[in-house]
Amino acid sequence: MGNTQSTASGLLTPGKFLLVILRYAFPALVVVAICPFLGGEVLNFTDIVTAVTHRGPWNADSEIFFFHRLPRVILAFLAGSALGLTGAVFQAILRNPLATPYTLGITGGGSLGAVIAITVPNLYFSWGIFNAVQLLSLVGSTAAMAFIYFLARTQGRLSMNSLLLAGISVSIFSGAMILFLRYLANPNFLLSVERWLMGGLDVTGFNEIALLFPLYLPGIGLLFLQMRSLNQLTLGDEIAAGYGVDVKRVQQCAFIGGSLATAGVVAVAGPIGFIGLVVPHIVRRLSGVNQVIVLPASFIAGGAFLVACDTMARTMFYPREIPVGIITALIGVPIFIHLLIGIRR
């Protein structure tokens, strides 16, 4: 019982916490540092350094590095970190190992909004740096979040069972509407729909990264603020309340924070799957169930995982590029099956 209470309280010495996080941060830093230099075209490191220090012309290698590969790696890390963290939080508040932003329908709502923007004739507009696909994806994710939250509220409280069921319902409905729109759409638009639904991080410059921040920063901040309370919440609502946790507030903040972060990612990168499902499982296998470790470790590992997958996506069949969502699924499914087999044993 004493061990359970220690785990629930999230007590952890600073030295041990730092050591565990460094085990994730160092490999992630290596991945992020190396991947911008990997690709079908070999870059000359000296030319890049020369261009940065203004001792030479802004050459082709510098253009590729600073306007294509570096922004792409940064976007991949930010998107992957949000998905990994959100998956860990949703699994904690629902006490369900299969809970992810996809399970809860938030990604489905964003996908439906994007498909509407792509398939409806003449529906093209922009607002600042946002285009129609990004804006309607954002609207779809936000609408799905609000609707699921409304359905899951029971007598002023957020019912976790209702939340999961509402999310699955919204996800199924969004999938059906996407199929309906694809059936009605002009065939010329179908390739764009398929490409978007597979997820992608093909960017030029840093505008797409800026699109993340209005929802990404408050969402991530809300999730990390619940870190210690989530330890008690994983033991059950009554036990958590006995520790002095405001269960209702923590559940609401965790759901809203995860939804905001996911909506920002989906609006920019599309629906990239399996990161929020697989990464938290691996982290818990390696480092235990203390949420004070699981959340930042899932954040770091999720970012590094998506960077590595995206690098594979753009290099394996160069000059053709595979949508990164395919890579995450091909890698994520075997890992998850292996984890399930391990749990059964």
Q: What angle do CA 216, 76, 230 make, to 5 degrees?
A: 45
Number of domains, the chain: 1
Range from 69-78, 134-143, 200-209, 319-328 that averages highest in pLDDT: 69-78
Q: Which of 96, 239, 222 is nearest to 162 (CA)?
A: 96
pLDDT tens by residue, 297-310 = 999 999 999 999 99
Q: The domain spanning residue 222 has which CATH number? A: 1.10.3470.10
Specify the residue for token string 């004493």: 2
What span, in angstroms and rounded, lies between the C-alpha atoms of 268 and 87?
18
Q: Which of 4, 2, 10 is nearest to 224 (CA)?
A: 10
Backbone torsions φ then ψ of 135, nearest 5 degrees: -65, -45
Q: Which of 104, 56, 68 is nearest to 266 (CA)?
A: 104
Provide the domain limits for residue 185.
2-344
Rounded to an integer, the average pLDDT of 238-265 is: 85
Could you say which DSSP state residue 68 is in?
Answer: I
pLDDT tens by residue, 91-131 = 988 888 878 888 888 889 989 998 998 888 777 776 766 77
Q: Which two tokens stand for residue 138?
A: 């954002």
Backbone torsions φ then ψ of 127, nearest 5 degrees: -140, 100
User: Is-contact 86 101, C-beta < 8 A?
Assistant: yes
What is the model's pTM?
Answer: 0.88
Backbone torsions φ then ψ of 318, nearest 5 degrees: -55, 135
Q: Is 45 exposed, middle or buried (0-12, 13-18, 19+ CB in 10 A)?
A: exposed
Rounded to an integer, the average pLDDT of 133-161 is: 81
Neighbours of 271 (CB within 10 A): 21
Rounded to an integer, the average pLDDT of 234-242 is: 79
Question: Is pLDDT above 90 for 176?
Answer: yes
Where residue 9 falls among pLDDT bands split at 50, 70, 90? very low
CA distances (Å), 287 to each of 2, 223, 298, 338, in order?
19, 19, 11, 17
Q: What is the pLDDT of residue 8?
A: 42
User: Is-contact 275 328, C-beta < 8 A?
Assistant: yes
Where residue 159 falls among pLDDT bands split at 50, 70, 90? confident
